[in-house]
Amino acid sequence: MTWLFKMAWRDSRRNYKRLLLFTSSIVLGIAALVSIDGFGENLKHDIDKEAGSLLGADLRISTSRTIKPATQSFLDSIAQFGDISKEVSFASMVSFVKTEDTRIVNVRALEGKYPYYGNILTEPASAYAELSQGQHTLLDEQVMKEFDIVLGDSVKVGNLVFVVTGKIKGIPGQTTVQMGVVPSIYIPMQYLDASGLIQFGSRYLRKFYYQYEDEKLADQLKEKYQKQYRPEGLDFDSIASSKRQTSQAFGVMTRFLNLVGFIALLLGCIGVASAVHIYIKGKLQTVAILRCLGIKGDKAFLIYLIQIAGMGLVGSLIGVVLGTFLQTVLPSVLSDFLPIAVSFGISWYSIGKGILLGILISVLFALIPLMNIRNVSPLRTLRVNEEVSEKGLGRWIVFGLIGAFILGFTYLQIGSLIEATFFVLFILFSFIILAAVAWLVMFLVRRIIPSNWSFILRQGFANLHRPNNQTFILVLSIGLGTALIATLFFMRGLLLDQISVAQAGDRPNMIVFDVQTPQKDQLLALTDSMDLPVLQQVPIVTMQLEKVKSMTRKEMMADSTRKDRWALNRENRVTYRDSIINSETIIDGAWVGNYDGNGPVPISLEKDYARAIGASLNDPLVFNVQGVELETVVSSIREIAWNRIQTNFLILFPNNILEQAPQFHVLITRTSSTDQSVAYQRNVVKAFPNVSVVGLEQILSTVDDLIGKISFVINFMALFSILTGLLILIGSVILSRFQRIKESVLLRTLGANRKQVLLINLTEYALLGLIAAFTGILLALVGSYALAVFVFQSPYSIKIVPIIIVLVTIVSLVVLIGLSNSRGILNRPPLEVLRGES
């Protein structure tokens, strides 16, 4: 047994070059996996934390009711685990002393260190921190422009006069466009009583913000007390629940990171499999000699198994170190470019996983080529004979093990057995397609090389099918590698498209509410005359839900165990149109765009709303539209991408029913400067005193920011793993050089000049690269389509440019590497090459 180890070691010494390549594909695969795992995990963690700024705290409890003493002591008691800040907000008229203009605003009186996460952006920057140092107030930028207020002016709020010490440019925590948003002003809490604004019976909202060391505590507290205090009017929000706002972008990111880790590993597997395949091919002669000297097949097999496992261990150790190093170094090297500060934590779990996977992969994927060793005939010493290959049961067992391994790993990474099974089936499918293509190419090339072609072309083509060709292995490895890389690349494009709509150039930033039907056309004309685009204009009808199936709203509300009561009681703002828009996806049923006048009206519900009211497809619902009962039926369920700035509706009616109902309109536009937006607001309010205009610039900043960062993560991780994928591909092509050495040298000996030899190799590699990359891209198109539709639930579109980028990159890389291989050979004297490695 020790002899086997000794032999494995001795045999590896002189092969360090080839083994280095084999090891490097493990190193790269594992490094990619470990760093992607770790870096991705940290990024996700940091972005998660960033999401804290949506709320500004770990936990927020809000109520609009008067707080009972018992409830108050509960609110105080949970502050002992961390820190607490308080806010009271209410609508109030304020007047600007200089101009005597008045305006209804949302007054926010604050006390404490809120916001704990994120910042209230002000000008000057210190204004918010210094708010409580006197009778200070901060105003929205919009309002200041609108009323020509400058810093130092005075504002009267209730009985008190405050000095404007800052301009608010961004507020955390406002993530969705709520209808009727009014501008905010901030005042210190200590002046609230003196202002005399809070009196018995006035409507105000109290918020308590908590910050805890242990992030989980917020959710635990929420879980524990929510039920008990909800009847008291307390609303609990934790970061997790507020994240739902951007949940789609988050979900996309998490899934994408999983996908990246998975693909990095598969690329590693391909690298290992092709490296071992070519390595073992070169070892067959040695095995034959050993067999002649009387070694048994199993022992020869063991020698190389030990060698491969040893290299696998070394490779994965180096890979783990490299991966951890990368993960440490990347954030500091990239800190200027990273929009987020990425923290660093060594994850022993991912290190252990990396080492284990490295060995497992090297052995498992080496087994198929290794098994051939058992069948090497000693006759090879007398006469180099045809390929050896394991045919028996063993081969199928190994295939089964590999399948099980990929399935298991995919399952761990993705968490869904069905999706994992589809992944494995798809990889199998790709494998079969690529093998078939390789076989077809060899078959065709053998049959149809015209004899009137030039010597070089014929040689280049013939290299594809002659004995010892590399067609099969390279088409498989380049093809599969291309398929994975391209899938990642295409998915990246699709996902970025999907989540960055909000960042597009024509992003709306101005909403006009409460436009009456007769005013509609005048408003359009006004907007048009100021050269502003009408991005969206929708009619809104308000209505109340009366009946779900046979249950009336009263009956449902009487059930005190019922959850989601908000959904039953709300005053619904409903629109109607004949089509769905691009932020909406029908997930069940069929959308009906025009009501034909017969039977109940077919409507579409947003999926969470449908769940909240307990309605499913084909259930009858009754709505009360300003006193008139309207019978409807749920004909479709929609999903809405909330991260887009659009007016989105939980309930959607078809055309031909609500046109005559009392309604108002909402218009969305985009202004390109603050001046323009102030002018527009002025003009609109002057012409139509009843409407309200809201600018969204500050409100959007948090969401925008977050989506920007998520896009960055997707971009970065995609790039990172695509690069490792390319490195691994380079590895497999470099390995193949050994196949062509003798031949090139012989051609040179026979009088071919360097250019001819180079051209022959160029033809061969270009053909291989083209065939493999092309097939790989086709597979990636199928794969990314399936991923987009079934996993990411995003719309799919084929773009030509990325396809061309991938094709050109892969083919030129293969050709370049292939040629640099032959250059290396050509620059050395033939004798040295012949005497070197055989």
Partner 1 sequence: MESILNVQNLSKSFQTGRKELTVLDSVSFEVKKGQTFSIVGPSGSGKTTLLGLCAGLDQSSSGSVELNGIRIDQMSEDERAAIRNQHVGFIFQSFQLIPTLTALENVMVPLELRGQRNPKDQAMELLTKVGLADRHDHYPSQLSGGEQQRVSLARAFSNAPSILFADEPTGNLDDETSEIVEALLFKLNQEHGTTLILVTHDLELAKRTQRTVKIKGGKLVEDILNPNPIV
Ligand X SMILES: Nc1ncnc2c1ncn2[C@@H]1O[C@H](COP(=O)(O)OP(=O)(O)O)[C@@H](O)[C@H]1O
Residue numbers at the binding site for partner 1 (CB under 8 A): 3, 6-7, 10-15, 285-286, 288-298, 377-379, 381-383, 835-838
The least CB distance from residue 379 to ligand X, in Å, is 8
The least CB distance from residue 468 to ligand X, in Å, is 16
Residue 270 to residue 480: CA distance in whole angstroms = 8
Q: Strands, E, within 590-663: which ranges?
A: 601-606, 620-625, 628-640, 651-653
Residue 79 to residue 550: CA distance in whole angstroms = 45
The least CB distance from residue 385 to partner 1, in Å, is 10
Which one, of 643, 646, 695, lies nearest residue 243 by Cα?
A: 643
- Count of residues that interact with ligand X, criterion CB under 6 A: 2
Q: Enumerate residues 6+ apart whose C-beta is below 8 A from 565.
A: 557
Q: Contact, 320 vs 354, CB < 8 A?
A: yes
Binds 702, which of ligand X, partner 1, none (CB < 5 to 8 A, cut-off by type)? none
Which one, of 37, 42, 79, lies nearest residue 61 by Cα?
A: 79
Which one, of 532, 576, 506, lies nearest residue 693 by Cα?
A: 532
The least CB distance from residue 485 to ligand X, in Å, is 42
Binding mask 413-452 for ligand X (x = CB under 6 A): ----------------------------------------
Q: Which is nearer to partner 1, 454 or 749 (CB)?
A: 749
Would you mind telling me the total number of residues written for the chain in this entry? 838
Residue 779 to residue 788: CA distance in whole angstroms = 14
Q: Which is nearer to ligand X, 468 or 594 (CB)?
A: 468
Q: Which is nearer to partner 1, 686 or 835 (CB)?
A: 835
Q: Which is nearer to partner 1, 222 or 291 (CB)?
A: 291
Place of tokens 């959308």: 591
Residue 497 to residue 518: CA distance in whole angstroms = 38
Q: What is the DSSP letter of 657?
A: S
Q: Which is nearer to ligand X, 95 or 375 (CB)?
A: 375
Binds 619, which of ligand X, partner 1, none (CB < 5 to 8 A, cut-off by type)? none
The least CB distance from residue 3 to partner 1, in Å, is 5
Q: At residue 731, what are phi and psi to the nearest 5 degrees?
A: -55, -45
Binding mask 128-167 for ligand X (x = CB under 6 A): ----------------------------------------
Residue 680 to residue 528: CA distance in whole angstroms = 11
Binds 343, which of ligand X, partner 1, none (CB < 5 to 8 A, cut-off by type)? none
The least CB distance from residue 389 to partner 1, in Å, is 16
Binds 15, which of partner 1, ligand X, none (CB < 5 to 8 A, cut-off by type)? partner 1
Give residue 483's Cα distance to chain centre: 19
Strand, helix or coil at 545? strand
Helix, strand, coil percentages in the chain from 3-state DSSP, rounded to 5: 60, 15, 25
Place of tokens 């369920």: 637
Q: Which is nearer to ligand X, 385 or 594 (CB)?
A: 385
Q: Both tokens of residue 222?
A: 């929420």
Q: Which is nearer to partner 1, 3 or 348 (CB)?
A: 3
The least CB distance from residue 289 to ligand X, in Å, is 18
Q: Which is nearer to partner 1, 293 or 800 (CB)?
A: 293
- Kindly tell me the burial class for residue 651, based on how many C-beta atoms sit within 10 Å of its own C-beta (0-12, 13-18, 19 or more): buried
Binds 378, which of ligand X, partner 1, none (CB < 5 to 8 A, cut-off by type)? partner 1
Binds 293, which of partner 1, ligand X, none (CB < 5 to 8 A, cut-off by type)? partner 1
Q: Which is nearer to partner 1, 282 or 614 (CB)?
A: 282
The least CB distance from residue 382 to ligand X, in Å, is 7
Q: Strands, E, within 477-619: which ranges?
A: 510-516, 534-548, 551-552, 571-576, 584-589, 601-606
The least CB distance from residue 15 to partner 1, in Å, is 6
Q: Which is nearer to partner 1, 290 or 791 (CB)?
A: 290
Strand, helix or coil at 170? strand
Residue 282 to residue 685: CA distance in whole angstroms = 83
Q: What is the DSSP letter of 78?
A: G
Binds 290, which of partner 1, ligand X, none (CB < 5 to 8 A, cut-off by type)? partner 1
The least CB distance from residue 380 to partner 1, in Å, is 9
Q: Which is nearer to ligand X, 353 or 380 (CB)?
A: 380
Q: Both tokens of residue 76?
A: 């105080």
Task: Calculate ∠ Cα 764-766-770, nearest 5°.
Answer: 120
Binds 564, which of partner 1, ligand X, none (CB < 5 to 8 A, cut-off by type)? none
- Name the β-bridge partners of 639: 585
Binds 296, which of partner 1, ligand X, none (CB < 5 to 8 A, cut-off by type)? partner 1
Q: What is the DSSP letter of 692?
A: E
Task: Calculate ∠ Cα 450-454-460, nearest 5°.
Answer: 80
Q: Contact, 690 vs 514, CB < 8 A?
A: yes
The least CB distance from residue 745 to partner 1, in Å, is 15
Q: Both tokens of residue 462?
A: 């013939």
The least CB distance from residue 467 to ligand X, in Å, is 13
The least CB distance from residue 385 to ligand X, in Å, is 6
Q: Which is nearer to partner 1, 307 or 671 (CB)?
A: 307
Q: Which is nearer to partner 1, 163 or 382 (CB)?
A: 382
Residue 155 to residue 152: CA distance in whole angstroms = 10
Residue 718 to residue 712: CA distance in whole angstroms = 10
Residue 702 to residue 171: CA distance in whole angstroms = 8
Binds 425, which of partner 1, ligand X, none (CB < 5 to 8 A, cut-off by type)? none
The least CB distance from residue 291 to partner 1, in Å, is 6
DSSP H or E stretch at residue 558: helix 553-558
The least CB distance from residue 383 to ligand X, in Å, is 6
Binds 496, which of ligand X, partner 1, none (CB < 5 to 8 A, cut-off by type)? none
Binds 200, which of ligand X, partner 1, none (CB < 5 to 8 A, cut-off by type)? none
Which residues in 724-763 contact ligand X (CB under 6 A)? Answer: none
Q: Which is nearer to partner 1, 16 or 453 (CB)?
A: 16
Residue 602 to residue 57: CA distance in whole angstroms = 42
Residue 59 to residue 208: CA distance in whole angstroms = 8
Binds 241, which of partner 1, ligand X, none (CB < 5 to 8 A, cut-off by type)? none
The least CB distance from residue 386 to ligand X, in Å, is 8
The least CB distance from residue 20 to partner 1, in Å, is 14
Q: Which is nearer to partner 1, 564 or 837 (CB)?
A: 837
Binds 337, which of ligand X, partner 1, none (CB < 5 to 8 A, cut-off by type)? none
Residue 302 to residue 4: CA distance in whole angstroms = 7
Residue 648 to residue 670: CA distance in whole angstroms = 17
Q: Contact, 83 vs 113, CB < 8 A?
A: yes
Strand, helix or coil at 432? helix
Which residues in 365-394 contact ligand X (CB under 6 A)? Answer: 383, 385
Q: Which is nearer to ligand X, 377 or 701 (CB)?
A: 377
Q: Which is nearer to ligand X, 383 or 686 (CB)?
A: 383
Helix ranges (H only) for 374-453 are: 393-414, 417-448
Residue ranges in contact with ligand X by CB under 6 A = 383, 385
